[in-house]
Homo-oligomer: A and B are copies of this chain.
Amino acid sequence: MQAQVLDVLRSCRVPMSAYDVLRCLREEHPRLAPPTIYRALAALMERGKVHRLESLNAFVACQCERHRDAPILWVCTDCGVVEENSSTDLLTALSGIAGKSGFAPMRHVIEVHGRCGACGSAESRA
């Protein structure tokens, strides 16, 4: 089930809600119910294969093989595509701020909404 959910998510660069995934997989498994999907997604997130987009209540397949740091997710509000990367500098900066107030970070949520390069140049050509 995890493998099937991951396949569905990998088949598209646009994030999908758990219910989108459910609708996809119901074509093959008509009786599939939400908890199954959420369990698979939880396991995949645990293994770092999938990221949850908190600001969209949606999920994307991880685009990197391995993570050193927390991912930064770049969401195009125009085409919907999500890019992923990470920045040691950024994490260092965050840790620095955290340190001053004695805050011990456990999990970072960094999502940036805007217009991606492709949509930006498409627009400027128009």
Contacts and interface: CB of A to CB of B under 8 A. Distances in A.
Interface stretch (A1-9, A15-23, A60-68, A108-116): A108-116
A85 interface: yes
A7 B114 CA distance: 32
A89 interface: yes
Interface string A43-67: 0000000000011010000000000
A98 B114 contact: yes
Contacts of A12: none
A126 interface: no
Contacts of A32: none
Contacts of A104: 114-115, 120
